[in-house]
Copies of this chain bind each other. A is one copy, B any other.
Amino acid sequence: MNQPSDKLNLDRLAVVLVDTRNPLNLGAAARALSNFGFEHLRVVRPYEPSFREARSAVGASELLARAKEFASVPDAIADCTFVVGTTAAHNREMRQPLHGLDSAGQLIRSHLQKGRVAMLFGSEKRGLSNADLAHCHCLVRIPTRIEHGSMNVGQAVAVCLYELIREGGARPAQLEFGVSASQADVERLTSVWLDALRASGYVPSGGGGTTEEKVRRLVRRLNFQTADAEVLLGMLRQIVWKLHANEKTDAGH
């Protein structure tokens, strides 16, 4: 019989439901995690009455009771080293690598060997926003029809988790890796990077929302190791310091 293997480190995967409104979908997602041997459900900005209702439903799982609530996507994924967004991906202008679920499964299994992985699912109506997607290292599309691409959240979670544990699932590729930078590191890097762009005039002061998303995506796409992230952070801090120091000297005259 196929039993989810411990070797897959299933307890390192966090399923993150963003802006979920329907309590039945919260319950269904929790049930799929339990069916397939996963443990960590996180919810971002749930519709509060739904979240309460789902937790208190008859037969609500212990897993749902333990689900952690977060105010934002960055908070929910702060301890994760690899972040995957799910998308219907037909009309979006994609900036990140887009994988079929099959190949995303292999990637995720490899990353689970090394650290925490987050898998993001968007709201029933709109899916993940561009701002949420900007936090993802890659996107995954479940191979639904173009004419009817949008899945029910509970079903999408079940299908994705099945893909991760299915028998015959390709064994995790051995990636030659150091330690991937955590999302907190990556966010720090993004932030200092943006400071440098603002101080240099690349981003007009006050504006820059688009650039912010652009930088956030770029930093994630580059998939930094911890050591590299630290080096780059040091470089950028020096650049920001110098840009500001020059300004002050300038203003001082």
Residues of A within 8 A of B (CB): 1-4, 24, 28, 31-32, 34-37, 89, 94, 97-104, 141-146, 148-152, 154-156, 158-159, 162-163, 165-170, 172-177, 196-197, 199-202, 214, 218, 221-225, 228, 231-232, 234-235, 238-239, 241-243, 246-247, 249-250, 253
A142: chain B residues at CB < 8 Å are 35, 162
For the complex, give the distance between the alpha carbons of A98 and B22 in Å: 36
A200: chain B residues at CB < 8 Å are 235, 238-239, 241-243
Contact A169 B100 (CB under 8 A): yes
For the complex, give the distance between the alpha carbons of A168 and B104 in Å: 12
Nearest-CB distance from A241 to chain B (Å)? 8
Nearest neighbor of A96 in chain B, beta-carbon distance: B176
Select A221's contact among B97, B102, B228, beta carbons within 8 Å. Answer: B228
Contact B247 A175 (CB under 8 A): no
Contact B232 A151 (CB under 8 A): no
Contact A143 B167 (CB under 8 A): yes
Nearest-CB distance from A153 to chain B (Å)? 11
For the complex, give the distance between the alpha carbons of A250 and B103 in Å: 54
For the complex, give the distance between the alpha carbons of A98 and B231 in Å: 20
Contact A100 B2 (CB under 8 A): yes
Nearest neighbor of A146 in chain B, beta-carbon distance: B3
Select A31's contact among B35, B102, B151, B241, beta carbons within 8 Å. Answer: B151
For the complex, give the distance between the alpha carbons of A32 and B155 in Å: 8
